[in-house]
């Protein structure tokens, strides 16, 4: 697509890590990149202006939640997500598939839950709103139309993310259904794009659980759709880290080198570093904001928690040497006080630090790939980071 161009700038000689630029209608994304998650149109507790100051280059919004409230037609009437949210850089919307299927998974994966909360048909999925219990039906075509109205630069194909502990038979059926839906998404997307001046890039999603043969089969099928990017779904949902990295390794030979690769829902610092070494370009995860809401924050020595009384009288910043607004202006002791007293400022300051930590990590990753020192940086970072404080 003319509006979307991906170019590799540097390749690491010892790993599959690479840097690149991804041009979109709302600006350039430098890869590898971490994408903060703004589920309902906002990254929790921080403004778009603050995200821009932090160096974020792209954020996510959630199709399922925005469809239910306020509705894609309202957002379209504002001119799309960027104008509605005042975020002037690129945006990505997921398909809502994960949220639809997680309704049943949250109550435990059983056939009864699937039949009660989510009814899967070849045409699409019937589900109940978590807001009021109302019934809705998503088809691949409808999901594409919703995301068209939302107006993000990158949109996702509708997929079924089967639970990691489901049987191989079920995961295979879900994968094959995902493939058929991806074809329908592509067809609907192409039909709509012919009529639109503002273009969107559709990413299909590789599924297949933790099974090597299914992942390989899915990778081949998804790549053959020849769309602007490739997404990898259904990981970091309960499988071991070893299995996560193994899956990335076995599908790598089938992924095109000239298209961005997006690993969905993965965002811990150590997982990002490992995944970058397997050639992944794009990451998203709610961990930065979720950890902040629970009083956790990252430093170069791992994860720490403000419930630790050692921080009560700590006059140092959350992380020495950190350049974020929080660490330049506030002590760990003060931020701990805000968190204990449930002051909103405390959550904001923690979120700013955590998002900055990941955005800055991506910057350092890109610099070390360019300089040919990525593997040394990765090993040094992980060895120090594993010293986790509870």
pLDDT score at 106: 53
pLDDT score at 116: 61
Give, in order, the Cα–Cα distances in Å from 67 to each of 61, 63, 83, 138: 11, 6, 17, 11
Residues 265 and 339 in one domain: no
Question: Per-residue confidence at 2, pLDDT binned at 50, 70, 90?
Answer: confident
Q: Is 155 among the domain residues?
A: yes
Distance CA 133, CA 285 (A): 27
pLDDT score at 105: 54
Residues 72 and 127 in one domain: yes
Residues 239 and 368 in one domain: no
Q: What's the alpha-carbon Rg for the chain, to the nearest Å?
A: 21
Residues 265 and 336 in one domain: no
Residues 245 and 324 in one domain: no
Residues 86 and 232 in one domain: yes
With a cut of 50, say whether residue 389 has pLDDT above it.
Answer: no
* Residue (of 242, 248, 313) closest to 279 by Cα position: 248
pLDDT score at 390: 41
* Residue (of 240, 241, 221, 217) closest to 230 by Cα position: 221
Q: Which helix (DSSP H) or strand (DSSP E) does residue 175 occupy?
A: helix 168-193
Distance CA 117, CA 103 (A): 7
pLDDT score at 67: 97
Residues 253 and 301 in one domain: no
Scanning the chain, the segments in alpha helix (DSSP H) are 48-54, 63-68, 72-77, 81-85, 97-105, 111-117, 140-150, 168-193, 212-224, 241-251, 269-277, 287-293, 325-329, 332-340, 344-371, 374-385
pLDDT score at 98: 79
Question: Is residue 188 classed as helix, strand or coil in its secondary structure?
Answer: helix
Distance CA 108, CA 113 (A): 7
Q: Is 149 among the domain residues?
A: yes
| Mean residue pLDDT across the chain | 94
pLDDT, one tens digit per residue, over 135-149 is 999 999 999 999 999
| Exposed e or buried b per residue across 235-263, where buried means at least 16 C-beta atoms within 10 angstroms of its C-beta | bbbebeeeebebbbeebeebbeeebbbbb
* pTM more than 0.75: yes
Asked which of 262, 285, 308 is the last residue of a domain, the reply is: 285
pLDDT score at 387: 65
Distance CA 115, CA 151 (A): 33
Asked which of 231, 261, 285 is the last residue of a domain, the reply is: 285
Question: For the residues 235-243, what does the mean pLDDT come to?
Answer: 92
Residues 234 and 328 in one domain: no
Residues 96 and 134 in one domain: yes
Single out the catalytic residue among 153, 271, 281, 284: 284
pLDDT, one tens digit per residue, over 65-112 is 999 999 999 999 999 999 999 999 999 999 988 777 765 555 554 555
pLDDT score at 56: 98
* Cβ within 8 Å of residue 242, ≥6 positions away: none
Would you call 284 a catalytic residue per the annotation? Answer: yes
Residues 112 and 174 in one domain: yes
Answer whether 40's CB lies under 8 Å from 288's CB: no
Distance CA 142, CA 109 (A): 26
| Helices 269-277 and 374-385, packing angle to 10 deg | 150
Would you call 360 a catalytic residue per the annotation? Answer: no
CATH code for the domain in which residue 45 is found: 3.20.20.105
Host domain of residue 121: 5-285
In total, how many domains does the chain have? 2
Q: Please list the residues that pair with 38 across neighbouring strands.
A: none
Question: Per-residue confidence at 386, pLDDT binned at 50, 70, 90?
Answer: confident
Asked which of 285, 317, 335 is the last residue of a domain, the reply is: 285
Question: For the residues 185-210, what does the mean pLDDT come to?
Answer: 95
pLDDT, one tens digit per residue, over 18-61 is 999 999 999 999 999 999 999 999 999 999 999 999 999 999 99
Q: Is 272 among the domain residues?
A: yes
pLDDT score at 3: 87
Taking 3-state DSSP, the helix, strand and coil percentages for the chain, each rounded to the nearest 5, stand at 45, 15, 40
| 71: Cα within 13 Å, side-chain hemisphere | 4
Q: Is 254 among the domain residues?
A: yes
| Helices 374-385 and 344-371, packing angle to 10 deg | 150
Distance CA 88, CA 291 (A): 26
Answer whether 339's CB lies under 8 Å from 296's CB: no
Give, in order, the Cα–Cα distances in Å from 274 to each of 181, 241, 279, 375: 30, 10, 9, 10
Distance CA 238, CA 217 (A): 22
Q: Is 346 among the domain residues?
A: yes
Question: Per-residue confidence at 353, pLDDT binned at 50, 70, 90?
Answer: very high
DSSP E strands, the chain: 5-11, 18-24, 27-31, 33-35, 59-61, 91-93, 118-120, 125-128, 135-138, 154-156, 201-203, 205-206, 230-232, 261-263, 282-284, 296-299, 302-305
pLDDT, one tens digit per residue, over 164-187 is 889 999 999 999 999 999 999 999
Residues 258 and 342 in one domain: no
pLDDT, one tens digit per residue, over 280-295 is 999 999 999 999 999 9
Question: Per-residue confidence at 115, pLDDT binned at 50, 70, 90?
Answer: low
Question: For the residues 348-364, what does the mean pLDDT come to?
Answer: 98
Q: Is 339 among the domain residues?
A: yes
Distance CA 321, CA 353 (A): 12
With a cut of 50, say whether residue 314 has pLDDT above it.
Answer: yes
pLDDT score at 164: 85
Question: For the residues 244-265, what does the mean pLDDT come to?
Answer: 98
Q: Is 390 among the domain residues?
A: no
Question: Per-residue confidence at 118, pLDDT binned at 50, 70, 90?
Answer: confident
Residue bearing the bigger pLDDT, 372 or 99: 372
Question: For the residues 357-377, what does the mean pLDDT come to?
Answer: 98
The overall longest dimension of the chain from CA atoms, in Å, is 62
Question: For the residues 228-244, what does the mean pLDDT come to?
Answer: 95
Single out the catalytic residue among 94, 153, 159, 271: 94
Q: Is 269 among the domain residues?
A: yes
* Cβ within 8 Å of residue 13, ≥6 positions away: 372
Length of the chain: 390
Residues 326 and 194 in one domain: no
* Degrees, nearest 5: CA angle 111-115-118: 115
């Amino acid at each position: 697509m003319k509006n979307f161009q991906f170019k590799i700038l540097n390749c690491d000689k010892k790993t599959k890590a690479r840097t690149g630029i991804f041009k979109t209608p709302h600006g350039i994304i430098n890869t590898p990149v971490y994408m903060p998650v703004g589920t309902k149109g906002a990254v929790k507790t921080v403004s778009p202006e603050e995200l821009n100051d932090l160096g974020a280059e792209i954020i996510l919004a959630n199709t399922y939640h925005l469809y239910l409230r306020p509705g894609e037609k309202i957002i379209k009437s504002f001119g799309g997500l960027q104008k509605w949210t005042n975020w002037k850089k690129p945006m990505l919307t997921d398909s809502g598939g994960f949220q639809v299927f997680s309704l049943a998974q949250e109550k435990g994966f059983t056939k009864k839950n699937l039949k009660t909360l989510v009814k899967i048909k070849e045409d699409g999925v019937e589900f109940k709103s978590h807001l009021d219990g109302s019934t809705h039906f998503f088809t691949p075509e409808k999901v594409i139309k919703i995301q068209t109205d939302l107006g993000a630069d990158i949109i996702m194909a509708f997929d079924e993310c089967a639970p990691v502990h489901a049987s191989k038979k079920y995961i295979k059926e879900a994968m094959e259904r995902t493939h058929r839906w991806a074809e329908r998404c592509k067809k609907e997307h192409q039909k709509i794009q012919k009529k639109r001046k503002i273009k969107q890039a559709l990413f299909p999603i590789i599924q297949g659980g933790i099974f090597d043969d299914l992942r390989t089969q899915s990778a081949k099928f998804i790549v053959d759709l020849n769309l602007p990017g490739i997404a990898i779904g259904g990981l970091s949902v309960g499988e071991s880290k070893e299995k996560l990295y193994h899956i990335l390794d076995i599908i790598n030979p089938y992924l095109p080198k000239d298209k961005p690769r997006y690993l969905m829902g993965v965002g811990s610092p150590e997982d990002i570093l490992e995944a970058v070494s397997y050639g992944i370009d794009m990451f998203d995860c709610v961990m930065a904001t979720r950890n902040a809401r629970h009083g956790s924050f990252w430093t170069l020595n791992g994860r720490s928690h403000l419930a630790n009384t050692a921080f009560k009288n700590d006059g140092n910043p959350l992380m020495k040497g950190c350049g974020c607004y929080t660490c330049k202006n506030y002590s760990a002791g003060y931020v701990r006080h805000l968190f204990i007293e449930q002051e909103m400022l405390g959550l904001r300051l923690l979120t700013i630090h955590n998002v900055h930590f990941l955005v800055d990590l991506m910057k350092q990753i890109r610099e070390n790939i360019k300089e040919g020192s990525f593997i040394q940086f990765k090993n040094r970072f992980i060895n120090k980071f594993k010293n986790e404080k509870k």
